[in-house]
Amino acid sequence: MLTVHHLGRSQSERIVWLCEEMGLDYRLVRHTRDTKTILSPPVLKALHPMGSAPVIEDDGVLLAESGAIVEYILGKYGDGRLSFGSEAREFPTYLYWLHFANGTLQALVGRAFLLRRLDLPADNAMLVAVLARLERALRLLEARLAASPYLAGESFSAADIMSVFSLTTMRLFYPYDLSPYPAILSYLQRIGARPAYRRAMEKGDPGFAPLLGAAT
């Protein structure tokens, strides 16, 4: 059976959500952060050298990195669901947004989070540059979602599963305001209405209300 190791309030929510969307039979192992350091517990480092989640175990396979895990599960269990093959018109767009999630959006939010923790002055050149690039990324998302209900097109896909964490749960760590982005906010309401998303969030982080509004 597929085992999903999930760290509370982390990118591993993507994998729980993917399993719920696909109706997979899986075992969920929940891990909690250290209350002082907010880091993952030692058991995850014992499982994988990076010591972070998500990690899956499946028929002798041990795999980390949420993007790799999403592609693995889609390839092994997807049967064409939640993705687009190379023959599909949406294929290039799907690929772009699938990789934009971690390659651009989450990377920028993560950099902004770290720079803010350094308590730099507001006019620090590095901070200004990162915040400007983050705004550019959000405006790109806004334009896409104003033109299309989902990132790859008319249909919900794994590109959406990869992207939502940075717009929601990540704002626990780096609060930012989404009120300038009405299309993103409408998109998050569509996401929040999905039964599989609600199930995944409740299973992975019981009692945690997803951050689907403009502010945290």
Distance (Å, whole) CA 109 – CA 105: 6
Q: pLDDT tens digits, residue range 101-139?
A: 999 999 999 999 999 999 999 999 999 999 999 999 999
Q: Which two tokens stand for residue 197?
A: 């998303």
Cα torsion angle, 209, 67, 6, 10, sign: negative
Amino acid in the structure at residue 111: R
Q: pLDDT tens digits, residue range 65-99?
A: 999 999 999 999 999 999 999 999 999 999 999 99
Question: Which pLDDT score is estimated for 154?
Answer: 98
Q: Which two tokens stand for residue 11?
A: 């990118």
Amino acid in the structure at residue 132: A
Distance (Å, whole) CA 43 – CA 35: 15
pLDDT of residue 10 exceeding 90: yes
Least confident of 8-17, 28-37, 93-102, 130-139: 28-37
Question: Which pLDDT score is estimated for 36?
Answer: 82
Distance (Å, whole) CA 117 – CA 162: 25
Token pair 């950099």: residue: 111
Distance (Å, whole) CA 46 – CA 144: 41
pTM, entire model: 0.97
Domains, the chain, ordered by start? 2-78 (3.40.30.10), 91-194 (1.20.1050.10)
Q: pLDDT tens digits, residue range 37-64?
A: 888 999 999 999 999 999 999 999 999 9
Which of 160, 59, 54, 56 is CA-nearest to residue 101?
A: 160
Measured between alpha carbons, how far is residue 4 from residues 31, 38, 172, 200, 201 in Å? 11, 20, 23, 12, 14
What is the b/e burial string over 4-26, where b = at least 16 CB atoms within 10 angstroms of the residue's CB?
Answer: bbbbbbbbbbbbbbbbbbbeeeb
Q: Strand, helix or coil at 45?
A: helix
Element housing 18 (H / E): helix 13-22
Distance (Å, whole) CA 48 – CA 64: 8
Q: pLDDT tens digits, residue range 144-173?
A: 999 999 999 999 999 999 999 999 999 999
Q: Within 13 Å and on the Cβ side, how many CA atoms surround 69?
A: 28
